[in-house]
Amino acid sequence: MNPYVEALKQAMDLLAKDERTLFLGQTVVFGGSRYTTSTLKDVPLEKRVELPIIEDLQMGISTGLALRGYIPVSIYPRFDFLPLATDQLVNHLDKVEMMSRGQFKPKVIIRTIVGGTQPIDPGPQHSQDHYTAFRSLLTNIDIIRLEMAEQIVPAYKSALDSSRPTLLIELGNLHHQYPNSTQK
């Protein structure tokens, strides 16, 4: 297994040990995404909630679970589709603490992946990086771009220990090491 994927698996195993975590999204129970299948294989099935393609509702569910004391690990297998959850992300999760004058502090760990362009480039709908856009939209959510395997476990541990929501962005080309990979 490559070091990037191994570190992601270790991070998911670390998160799974916390009794408050739940993993939800597409391909968390049923295979289909090369990005999540191998990294979640040892996470107990009872901690995983498979959802259909309902990005906005998924973020709303994640915020609701967080308000009930869970720590949702909300997985979006492609960063390209996280913009569909922007209303819930920008106007709700990011603002709940401010709107409630500090009474509510929902913590969601959001895991997303900039789709890889190698060995086959799936086109712009599946490999866009919206880091800069989300950086400008979010004020109360930490954003971490995972550019090296060594960052991964500490970043996910930090997200688990934080009192704030965190968006962690993985790079698909690093899930598989190709000699001509240009994704940064």
Closest CA to 77 of 130, 27, 149, 22: 27
Structure confidence at residue 43 (pLDDT): 96
Local structure of 149: helix, strand or coil: helix
Residue 6, both tokens: 């191994």
The structural domains of the chain, with segments of one domain joined by +, span: 3-175
What is the value of pTM for the model shown?
0.92
pLDDT mean for each 10 residues of the chain (184 residues): 92 98 94 80 96 96 97 95 95 95 96 84 79 93 96 98 97 73 47
Structure confidence at residue 52 (pLDDT): 94
**Which of 3.40.50.970, 3.40.228.10, 3.60.40.10, 2.60.40.10 would CATH assign to domain 3-175?**
3.40.50.970
Structure confidence at residue 122 (pLDDT): 78
Separation of alpha carbons 64 and 77, rounded Å: 21
Beta pairing, strands 71-76 & 48-50: unpaired
Closest CA to 71 of 130, 31, 8, 12: 12
φ/ψ of 167, rounded to 5, equals -105, 120
Structure confidence at residue 181 (pLDDT): 45
Local structure of 73: helix, strand or coil: strand
φ/ψ of 147, rounded to 5, equals -95, -10
Structure confidence at residue 183 (pLDDT): 47
Structure confidence at residue 177 (pLDDT): 64
Local structure of 169: helix, strand or coil: strand
